[in-house]
Every structure is written in C-alpha cells, then in structure tokens.
Chain A
C-alpha cells in the first residue's frame, strides 16, 4: 500500500517541524524533570544506600537521615549483644559549620564513621582512602564541593566548630540534597565537630551474621530496643527519600514540571495532528466513500501519530542527553537511566496516541457523502 500516513506527515514541512518541536520539547521536559527527581531522590539517600549495612538502629520517630536524634550509646552495646548481629558500628550524622581559611562559613553535614569497618565509610574515593581518616582531625569531602568549601587539595585546612580539619581525601559524586556537603570523619572527631556528648550517638549500623535472616534480626532488635526504631537499609532509604521529596514539596514541584511536560506535549501534538487531519479531511472522506474501512482510515491517523512520536522522541532524547551532560559538569545530578529512556518512549507513544483521539473521533463521525458537496 502507498505510504499515505508518512506522506501526509512529511508533506507540510513547517507543520512537521512544529509537531516534532512540540514532542521533543515535551520529551526533554519529562526526561530532565524525572531525571532531576531521580537524582534528588538518590542524593537524599545516597549515604544509606552505599552504607553496606543491613539494618539501621535510630532514635524513636526518626523520619530521615539528617534528623539524626541523639541517643545513649548503651544501645550500641545492646545491639552488639543481640544474637545474629555480625558487626555493628556507631555512626553519627549532624550539622556543623565549616569555616574556610579566609573566614567564610558554610553549613556542612558531618558524617562520623569507623574507618576500619566495612560499613558507613566514604565511597567512590578519587584521592586518599578511609584509613587516612585515622590521622588527627582528618576529613574527606567530595570534590563537587571543593569550591564551596574552598578545599581543593589533600592537605588543605579548615575549621569546624573551632576544631582543625585537614582534608585527607576526596570522593567523587556523593551529592547532598541540601546545600550542606557531607564531611566524612571518624566517629570521635564527629562528636567533637558537632558538640555532641561523648556518650551520645545517632545511629547504629548493623551487619547481620552470615546466614541470619534480616527480617528476623530486625524483629529481635525491635524487641530488645523498644525505645528505638529499627529499619532495614531499604526502608530507611525510602523513608528519607519520601521525607525530602514529598514532605518538603521539592519532589512534588519537580514531578509537576514533568507532568506539565506531558500535558504540553499532548496539547501540541493534538493540535498539530488535528490540524493535519482537517487539512486532509476531504481525502479521508474520499477514502470512506471509496469503501475504505474505518480501521484503515484510523490506521493512517495513528501511524502519523506513531511516526511523529518516534521522530520527536529521538530528537528529544538526543537533546536530553546533551542537557544531562551539561548539567553534570555544572554540578546538577540528573539521572537518565535506560529504564527511564524506555519508559519515556512508551509514554511518548501514549501521549501521541492520546493526542490523536480528537482526530480519530472526527474521522469516525465523517460522512462520506461530503465528497459530493462541491
């Protein structure tokens, strides 16, 4: 059969350009906003997801990582005494003020860990290693925030809560959702930097002994520590993401922008496909008069929508990848996974098919007798 749908679509180059621009714009908006949402979500729970722990023991009613309500370290020993616990460490996350050599102050989130443990230590290191934290006043920061903290090289100095801090290493890509970068140090240093009492901790990170069921271990810890909350790493990660993305409204704003992209896309594509249909309405009437079944005529409309979707998607994704790379070099974290790309393709097809509904209705109600009216 002659390619009527393709020919009709590309016949009017200007209209095709408008259609593809609309779809591509919509794809870019959805891809970037969803990527931002995923990037933000991941950055809120990055420390938890990379902790290597199976279970987090927190103060009662802790809703997210940075809330970090202190509790007595006696609980740490109760955890250690629980059957099934393979390894447990004290962990601390708390806000503090980083003072640059020039005197400028920045808010940071101090992360106190055990450099010898296989849990909670800094990851994705590009300079130094966790063992360097054993040096006096040693800290590791992320190079993304080197400018913000004015610490660009190993050996650079700063001051945290009137204690000296010496940069001994850099990570790469450990972002924070807030404006306060993470500063890794030992648990003891972290107590000093944050002014927390020496018998206070925020978290106990637990690794289950080999072969121990994590669900059962969690239940045992809950029974032993009724004044604390006990979460699996996945649970605490979800809670933290949910807090930052939905309680603060940040996630809703980003998702709304993504939804707006979808709506804009549908509106633009619907308008252009409808205009194209109306341009060719007499031809569709002729097809119906000739005896073409509705499914053929509708097939032409839907093929146009599908082709526009495929072309617009390809352009949109190319632009999105460009934006993602540009954003990465600018410090923004837009996560565009292949799953997102595949999902967006189907969403684009659905968007274009939805946009074609108005035109489809027009065709279904078209009276073939129109061909005899002049």
Chain B
C-alpha cells in the first residue's frame, strides 16, 4: 500500500496567552491507501489539529506534510484549496450539508467544484448515493432525512471526485450506536474496496472493530503508534 499522507516531525503551536500552547509536539505518521486509521485520545490531545494539518486546512509550525507525495508545507497558501479539492474528502461531526440543496445536489456541488457538471454530475451523484445506500433520497432535503442518512450523504459528498483520502472528524458523534457503526463500516468498505486512506477521529472505542490501525494521541504526541 502507498502512502496517501505522510507527516514528518510536525509541531503546531498556537499563539494564545503567555508562551502559547503546543498542540502537536513532533508527530511522525503515515496514512496508507486502503487502510482505516482510527485516531483517538482525550480532548485537547491534538487530534483535530493533526486532522486539520493532514487536510491542508491548517499549516504546521514546523515539520513536513506530504500529500500524495507533494510537499504541501512548501506550497503557497493560495495553492492549498486546490490540493484539498483534488486529494481530500471531509466528513464532519455535524454533517455540514447545505440545507437549501437536496441530497443529490449536495453531492453534485462537490463534483461541480471538481469540474464534473451537468448530466455527468447528476449520474455520478446518483451512483454515489446508491453506493452509500440512500439512492432513493436523491431529491430529499437534509431537513427531511435522518441523522444517519445525512452522514451517508456527507460521505457520498466526501468521496465525490475520488479523492485519495477521507478525513472524518467524530463522524458518529451525532448518531446512535447502531447507525454510527453502520456509517463507519461503510467508510471502511470504501477504504478497502476503493483503495482510499480513511482517517477517523473519534472517542468511540466501539468503532475499533473497523480499524486497520490505531493512533493514540496524548499531549500532542503519538502515545501508541501502529498499535
């Protein structure tokens, strides 16, 4: 399996208060295609910061981040959105769907940003919603579907355009246990079947059965790599 994301000796310091806060203190990590990595740790351990850096949303204070082999830490700020668009799909705790668009349109929007538009986008959006098991909700608005269905739409949106990595921040936090497990199982299936790297930040130990790898963060450091 090839590396989708490589993190080398990354630190992140937030300049807040006296002396600032060291959120990450020298993290080394590789995420490989085709695997599901569960990132766990107590609140404030740096999980979301690391996920943001992996997703090119946040820049590290020092260290190197390689995305599909490209050094994003050497890139200009203006080039990062294009890297995110091409290589990363995000799944958020609160779904973050566009409430004024239907499920199908939410996926079409993601495809449109990647240059897939019109009939091709509609067909692909329908295929992706069917892939996550809610093809019949294509014309439904987010307000009219359940939490689990919303998260499935979010996953379909994240995989639209075939990015190499899916980064999920607490994707089951707003779901009941059964639905949460089903959602993560589906994400694991996508990782294995479609050779994507899936990183899931979670507090939920019950999702362990779907992980290929665990990373436990504490105080900005990896406490138990590759366990």
Contact = CB atoms under 8 A, between A and B. Distances in A.
B73 interface: no
Interface in A316-374: 368-369, 371-372, 374
B57 A368 contact: yes
A2 interface: yes
A155 interface: no
Interface in A222-258: none
Contacts of B106: 2
Interface in B68-123: 81-86, 88, 90, 92-94, 96, 98-101, 105-106, 108-110, 112-113, 117
Interface in B118-175: 169
Contact of B88 (A287, A288, A291): A291
Interface stretch (B48-56, B190-198, B212-220): B48-56
A282 B93 CA distance: 13
Contacts of A288: 81
A286 B169 CA distance: 13
Interface residues of A, number: 23
Contacts of B101: 2, 4, 7
Q: Is the interface of A mostly helix, strand, loop or mixed?
A: helix
A198 interface: no
Given A1-B117, A2-B108, A372 B51 contact: yes
Interface string A11-24: 10000000000000
A369 B90 CA distance: 12
A124 interface: no
B26 to A, nearest CB: 21
B208 interface: no
A8 B92 CA distance: 21
10 contacts: A1-B109, A1-B117, A2-B101, A2-B106, A4-B100, A286-B92, A289-B90, A296-B113, A371-B90, A372-B169
Nearest 5 A/B pairs, CB to CB: A291-B85, A7-B100, A291-B84, A2-B105, A1-B112
